[in-house]
Amino acid sequence: MAASAALSAPLPPLRDNGHGTRRIMLFDVYEITLRTTRPLHDAADVLADSAPQEVRLHMLRDAPAERFIAAIAHGVKENHGDTAEALAALERFYAALRAAGGPPQGSTARILWDGAATSVLLDEQPLISAPGPALRNALLLVWLGDNPVDAELKHQLLGQP
């Protein structure tokens, strides 16, 4: 299945809004980039924006599925992204990650919002597509919520000094 088949419409040109590297202790885990149609420097603006967006994670280390899922689930819960609307899509996302074995070193995961649906791809292979912004918002809160996984990384993704 082609990556574009997971989207309801092709994405317009996107620009890098911000990027950074997730570090745990001394280890670089992944590089992450937030891409938007226009500069967005406030997390609430990113979450409310109906224009297409992309979050791209390039894995610098292997991430076993259960460890990766636990980290995402923790970030979602810490930021109250586990809404009733998002839970079913999150469970399907976690199941797809388990089936894929988690993202290996060198892989690229993409969270795509086309204005109507959220799609997640791993090395351009669709993992899940869900209508509406609930899945996108739940995942974005991991990095952009009030309790982000890394406050410095949040500022970098938002293009803040």
Domain contains 135: yes
Domain contains 5: no
Rounded-to-integer distance, Cα 45 and Cα 71, Å? 24
Domain contains 109: yes
Domain contains 7: no
pLDDT tens string for the chain (161 positions)? 344 445 666 788 999 999 999 999 899 999 999 999 999 999 999 999 999 999 999 999 999 999 999 999 999 999 998 888 899 999 999 999 999 999 999 999 999 999 999 999 999 999 999 999 999 999 999 999 999 999 999 999 999 97
Q: In total, how many domains does the chain have?
A: 1
Domain contains 2: no
Domain contains 3: no
pTM here? Answer: 0.91
Dmax (CA) for the chain in angstroms is 40
Domain that holds residue 78: 13-157
Domain contains 4: no
Backbone angles phi and psi of 157, in degrees to 5: -65, -30
Rounded-to-integer distance, Cα 113 and Cα 133, Å? 8
Kind and range of the H or E run holding 66: helix 65-78
Q: What is the CATH number of the domain that holds 148?
A: 3.50.70.10
